[in-house]
Amino acid sequence: MPDITVKLPDGSDLTVPEGSTVADVATAIGPRLGQAALAGKISDELVDTSHVVSDGDAIQIITEKSPEALHILRHSAAHVMAEAVKDLFPEAGFGIGPSIEDGFYYDFDVDRAFTPDDLVAIEERMRQIVAEERLFARSELTKLEAFDTFDGQPLKQELIQELPEGERISIYNQGQLTDLCRGPHVPHTGRIPAFKLMKVAGAYWKGDSNREMLQRIYGTAWFAEKDLEQYLTNIEEAEKRDHRKLGKELDLFHFDELAGSGLVFYHPKGARLLSTLIDWLSKDLYKRGYYEIRTPHVYRADVWKTSGHWDFYRENMYPFLIDEGEGKEPSEYAVKPMNCPGAVLVYASDMRSYRDLPMRLFEFGTVYRHEKSGVVHGLMRARGFTQDDAHIFCTGEQIVPEVKGMLDLVKFIMETFDFTYTAEVSTKPEKSVGRDEDWDTATKALMTALEEWGLPFEINEGDGAFYGPKIDIKVRDAIGRVWQLSTIQVDFNLPERFDITYRTAENTDERPFMLHRAIFGSMERFFGILIEHTAGAFPTWLAPVQAVVVPIADRHMEFAASVRKRLEADGVRCEVYAEQEPMRVKIAKAQQQKVPYMLVVGDKEAEDDSVAVRDRLQGDIGAMSVCDFGEMVLAQRP
């Protein structure tokens, strides 16, 4: 048989006999890779290991470690689930079965909803299919042949009808099930080592509420039993840590249907935590040469027309009309969805010179955006929220040092909260404003700043906003979830639209660059993430109540009140548990509220002017004077 030559990812060539499959290529590269091969990638297309390669193909072998591997595994698991359902429910109709984040699903047309017992039975049948190591065999048919093959499966036939004429249609068979599918799959069912069916939900065919309601079974699949276990533990942990649940238990905030969804009401404890956070950050920003501004919540529509929001963002805004009286046109106003124009108006309120730059203006600005009700989610996605916003007006040369300063701030904040973090740079999208040279300057400046600061980054080609490139910072929380938090953004658009300038040393007028940046992003969202990250056990410096004073008997009430008053005066956030409850109930309450310290006061303490301190984690740590206790708490500031 003649030989053909394929290209490997390292640039080298490999000669194999004609008719070789991806699996053969993998084995030729190394027997171990042959064992590990799950699929292949030719140019950008994923293919099965049974795919026959052609001369000149550039081939990459997909193993469990490849980024595409979990998708292939999960999609293969969906086929196995479908086969199990076919065995147990021979009358079932079949919809589609894609892989999704963390798992897969398959939609079935059955005459009753699946029960938890059904899931157990389906899972059991899946295990047998996996144990049989059945091959996923691919074949290609004409449209007509495919239509016949799926006789009695109207949903599949509907999908086939929609495929373009003349195209070969691929089907896969693994034992009892033949399914319409592009592939690829793992070589055989035995390569699906760890999986679990999670839940059932109703789902309309094609998401269309006029079509039939199908039963969707969700599952998850992993390459190792331990990964599956970790995933299940994380889900359980995430449920325990749900910020909406803890927000209620810790009495931090609520949402009120009377006011509308996505609008948060902070209760005293939530508000106190938020103020602590804002005061702490403000102090730090002043040290870094920022100045605070406060701008209005409502502007005449002219501001939004100038900024461009009126044309491009109005559906997310709260606009309204004001009656200006008899014979006059009503005025258009809108609540601010962004703080940026406010900062621009502060900049534009005076002549600015190069000596004023960089000008760093920060604002804890509350904005309102009308998010669709389907996406509103507790504090994570609210309709009203406060940004830790800042706008820096600077020259092109100042972008690098300014961004480095911001990265320093990011590091300080992420380390304070024990988050690990990564960076991504998003570059010029297809549709954009601004001169190419400005895009170039700004994009290079962001990357140079990251390089000089020593933070590795990935590049999201073409993912920048239409008005400039940006850096996104993502954090990993205590249970391994990743959240997009900080953004550092260059803007060519607003300085142009508001026609802002500065006077150079040569007495000419130049356009400044504008940088937007938010480290927490939205304070609400950060609060939500922090609740879930800490499971509500905030670090002492941030806890809304740092200590509760517990009088042993009624006669110690007065002393307890004086302890609270003195500690509050020193800046320690303090409460008295005055209810007549047994001590163990009070201890349990303080534990449940995750209060860092409990101060028990009785005769002896009243006499010595001391408190018996109980640490939430360490238990009793002995008696100390009220003053010493206050100092110990205050010393825990970051």
Enumerate binding residues for Zn ion (CB under 5 A).
181, 340, 516
Tell me which DSSP letter residue 376 carries.
-
Query: How far, in Å, CA of 516 to CA of 105, rounded?
Result: 40
b vs e for 76-113, b when ≥16 Cβ sit within 10 Å of the residue's Cβ?
A: bbbbbbbbbbbbebeebbbbbbebeebbbbbbbbeeee
Active site residue 574: no
Query: How far, in Å, CA of 596 to CA of 575, rounded?
Result: 12
Point out the catalytic residue in the list 191, 216, 269, 516. Answer: 516
Alpha carbon 10 to chain centroid, angstroms: 34
- Complex with Zn ion: residue 188 or 616, whichever CB lies closer: 188
Nearest-10 crossing angle of helices 523-534, 268-287: 110
Nearest distance in Å: CB 390, Zn ion: 8
Active site residue 356: no
The tokens describing 377, both together, are 């989610």
Point out the catalytic residue in the list 79, 352, 369, 428. Answer: 369
Point out the catalytic residue in the list 60, 174, 387, 398. Answer: 387
Give residue for tokens 């409850």. Answer: 581
- Classify burial at 604, counting beta carbons within 10 Å of its beta carbon; exposed 0-12, middle 13-18, buried 19 or more: exposed
Residue 60: strand pairing partners: 41
Active site residue 340: yes
Give residue for tokens 């026959």. Answer: 52
Active site residue 387: yes
Query: How far, in Å, CA of 479 to CA of 238, rounded?
Result: 8
Active site residue 389: yes
Taking a C-beta distance cutoff of 8 angstroms, is the pair 183, 48 a contact?
yes
Give residue for tokens 């894609």. Answer: 98
- Complex with Zn ion: residue 252 or 340, whichever CB lies closer: 340
256 CB neighbour count, 10 Å cutoff: 10
Nearest distance in Å: CB 515, Zn ion: 9
Point out the catalytic residue in the list 86, 138, 360, 391. Answer: 391
- Complex with Zn ion: residue 86 or 269, whichever CB lies closer: 86
Nearest distance in Å: CB 366, Zn ion: 14
Nearest distance in Å: CB 64, Zn ion: 18
Active site residue 369: yes
Nearest distance in Å: CB 332, Zn ion: 22
- Complex with Zn ion: residue 192 or 340, whichever CB lies closer: 340
Query: How far, in Å, CA of 327 to CA of 330, rounded?
Result: 9
Nearest distance in Å: CB 489, Zn ion: 7
Nearest distance in Å: CB 491, Zn ion: 7
- Complex with Zn ion: residue 317 or 340, whichever CB lies closer: 340
State the Rg of the chain over Cα: 31
411 CB neighbour count, 10 Å cutoff: 15
Taking a C-beta distance cutoff of 8 angstroms, is the pair 105, 94 a contact?
no
Query: How far, in Å, CA of 612 to CA of 604, rounded?
Result: 10
Assign 490 to helix, strand or coil: strand
Active site residue 503: no
List, by residue number, the catalytic residues. 340, 369, 387, 389, 391, 470, 516
